[in-house]
Amino acid sequence: MRRPVARNLTALAVSAAVVSVGAAAPPAAPHRAATPKTPVAVGYGGAVSSVDADASAAGIEVLRKGGNAVDAAVATAAALGVTEPYSAGVGGGGYFVYYDAKSRTVRTIDGRETAPRTADEQLFTENGKPLAFADAVTSGLSVGTPGTPATWQTALDRWGTRGLGSVLKPAERLARDGFTVDETFRSQTATNEQRFRYFPDTAELFLPHGRLPAVGSTFTNPDLARTYRELGREGVGAIYRGDLGADILDAVNKPPVDPASGWNARPGDLSREDLAAYRAKVQAPTSTSYRGLDVYGIAPSSSGGTTVGEALNILERTDLSKASQARYLHRYIEASRIAFADRGRWVGDPAFEDVPTKQLLSQRFADSRACLIRDDKVLTSPLAPGDPRHPAACGTKGKAAPTTYEGENTTHLTVADKWGNVVAYTLTIEQTGGSGITVPGRGFLLNNELTDFSFAPANPAVHDPNLPGPGKRPRSSISPTIVLDRHAKPVVALGSPGGATIVTTVLQTLTGFLDRRLPLVDAIAAPRASQRNAAQTELEPALYDSALRGRLEALGHSFKLNPEIGAATGVQRLPDGRWLAAAEKTRRGGGSAMVVRSGH
């Protein structure tokens, strides 16, 4: 039974008819066996790696039916919108990096959300002061025009072989039939329980029978199944020009909040014109050379490609393969610190800001910054930026700006096919649970991506390229990366969620794999450190509790504990033509690597 789309609060009563757990069974009753996860798979015919087994299986299904890597990537992403709804979905955005085996070229799509046309630098200012972050997040004010649907359609139109309706079928079925709730899904729901209860539609969907979903129970989302079916039938115009978009606008501009909650869900100001004007941007990737390999990433509006690339260029002159573990980590941390200092000053939406992308990625600039690094002491943070247009040896320019906060819950998938095409795709609704606002009757959460803008200049004396503006894309740290050999053939592709820690996760995984010669699955699993031009470097427990920490502290490093950083996935092309897919062993409950046909 389809519940009518609610247009006012009186229609938002919790209904057991569409709760996530079947009405005939109590919430804890298991209905469906969980799809098993494995962090590494090797074989032929293509590969998929994601954080979720059902999502990876959706991509494999498309590959087995003759689809290519782009088709499978969209199918996997749509399935993640079902099983990872707090991380991604049609209400969000992302960045898509594609390697075309026939032309041996890399192409990318910027599918970042955009601010309303009415937005200005005061978007998150109230009574002359920046809003508290928590107040901004759970509001219509934080919601940007979704870019994910346009990304899917653009990728399929340009490089895919299947229509949108076809590749959405596995996700539609998964939403209708359900998936098995695991501890990660339950704990993420618990973290958001209070703010989910502000919005009756969100509570109805994600708190079945008014309670947290039980581990082992089956979670279904019939509204999302219908949304996918509508998108498949009508195309993404249903969002950008049609009724689905009208429902999004209603939810953003008149947030469907429970008045009894007392929550001030500040309204946004998205318009039909904002939706109709949205375009996913097909653009050139960033590119840099590292150890004789070509590393391709996503260009601004994301800072991922420039920041990872600059840090690699800084590390180019150091033989990390022979360095001790302490020296390797020291150099990696310092390169990250420097690259983030430069990112904060120079990177924003290039449609609004003069971003010196080419200069940031020049070896000349990297060398001028690398000379700051000493093996016997630590740089002070926040470090002032350099000037990529006029590099000066060991020089800095202007005043330092600390790195702004970005939500850490996103998701990444990596896909390869039998023809040798590869996709690295990171998609997001910003922090865990996005804005907390579920579009009534549609089954998906809206992003809070606009909170990635600076609420106010990080340093009033320095131009901040990441202040809000009309139609502007907020800066991101998303870093989907593809590495090619000297014959322009794939070596490895990877990416990760994690807000600003995405950059450091990708950088550390790349250096672990390329320099330290770790197997890909072990480079992904290695304990992480993340330095983002801050006074302290974050360490996961295995490093925080190790003797290495003491050796690094003796150099002047200061650390704080972060229980978990990122959740990477990757694929590797083996010399014999097989694909190796790799995912997390334990982070976020472990990931899921699959191949079309296993073979060793």
Q: Which residues are the active-site residues? A: 410
Alpha-carbon gap, residue 281 to 27, rounded angstroms: 43
283 forms beta bridges with: 108
**Secondary structure (DSSP) of 336-361:** HHHHHHHHHHH-S-TTTS---HHHHT
Which parts of 160-285 fold into alpha helices (H)? 164-177, 183-196, 200-206, 222-234, 237-240, 243-253, 272-277
- How far is the C-alpha of 540 from the C-alpha of 535, rounded, in Å? 17
78 with 71: CB under 8 angstroms? no
**How many other CB atoms are found less than 10 A from the CB of residue 176?**
16
Question: For the chain, how many residues are written?
Answer: 600
The Cα 170–Cα 167 span in angstroms is: 7
Residue 548's Cβ-count burial label (10 Å; 0-12, 13-18, 19+) is: buried
Nearest alpha carbon to residue 361 among 423, 297, 453: 297
Distance CA 265, CA 263 (A): 6
Burial class (CB in 10 A: 0-12, 13-18, 19+), 262: exposed
CA-to-CA distance for 118 and 456, rounded, in angstroms? Answer: 17
